[in-house]
Homo-oligomer: A and B are copies of this chain.
Amino acid sequence: MARRTGRRPGKPDTREAILAAARAAFAERGFDAASIRSIATAAGVDPALVHHYFGTKEELFRAAMRVPIDPAALLPTVLAGERDGVGGRLVRTFLGVWDSPAGTAGVGLLRSAVNNEWTARLMREFLVTQVLRRVLDHLDLDPAELPLRGSLVATQLLGLAMTRYVIRLEPVASADPETLVAAIGPTVQRYLTGDVAA
């Protein structure tokens, strides 16, 4: 039985031990440096079992952070179309996820990231490796500028999530998504492809 997608069954203790080891590894060493092998060793299991339960390293990361969506699956929607529209499409896609039932998990993630340094590190790794890097890699930009551009996009999207879903400040809290795409899309577009240097 090598089911390749979705949540795997398995002994709850073993699953939880793997997820705890994964959280520690991703927070301490970062997503790129943490290996399935080292996570398996820390959890006292065979690497094949980690793959069997959780699939790829990306899937393990999402399971460890309890992220119910796969950002990679949304990427084609963001990238399809004019380069000048990628900011607006990113905002629209972001709102689509957060306005869905997955948004509840998002608020939980924000809450835990704010509450301690360790979960903040996980959130940072997730943002960079699973969301921002994937968009930026497709825009043919100067590699030296990517970190600043990515973290500027993060300021706007994290703040949108905080304002709409956590602080619930009106009218952003209940605005039609297209109102926010029109207002905030150009900001994200400038951070991605415009002039942001001092």
Chain A window 158-198, contacts with chain B (Cβ cutoff 8 Å), 1 for yes, 0 for no: 11101110111111110110110111101100110000111
* Any B CB within 8 A of the CB of A100: no
Q: Please name all residues of chain B whose beta carbon is closer than 8 Å to the beta carbon of A162 when the two chains form the complex.
A: 114, 155, 158-159, 162
Q: Which of B124, B166, B178 makes the CB contact (< 8 A) with A168?
A: B124
Q: Please name all residues of chain B whose beta carbon is closer than 8 Å to the beta carbon of A120 when the two chains form the complex.
A: 166-168
* Any B CB within 8 A of the CB of A147: yes
Q: Please name all residues of chain B whose beta carbon is closer than 8 Å to the beta carbon of A182 when the two chains form the complex.
A: 196-198
A166 adjacent to B127 (CB under 8 Å): no
A171 adjacent to B155 (CB under 8 Å): no
Name A150's closest neighbour in chain B (CB-CB): B169
Question: How far apart sit A179 and B151, CA to CA, in the bound complex (Å)?
Answer: 13
Chain A window 127-168, contacts with chain B (Cβ cutoff 8 Å), 1 for yes, 0 for no: 110000000000000000001100110111111101110111
B196 adjacent to A148 (CB under 8 Å): no
Question: How far apart sit A148 and B157, CA to CA, in the bound complex (Å)?
Answer: 17
A151 adjacent to B124 (CB under 8 Å): no
Q: Please name all residues of chain B whose beta carbon is closer than 8 Å to the beta carbon of A184 when the two chains form the complex.
A: 152, 155
B155 adjacent to A160 (CB under 8 Å): yes
A167 adjacent to B127 (CB under 8 Å): yes
A-B contact pairs, 16 of them (CB 8 A): A111-B114, A120-B168, A147-B170, A148-B175, A151-B163, A151-B171, A152-B183, A155-B159, A155-B160, A155-B164, A155-B184, A156-B156, A156-B159, A157-B159, A158-B167, A187-B187
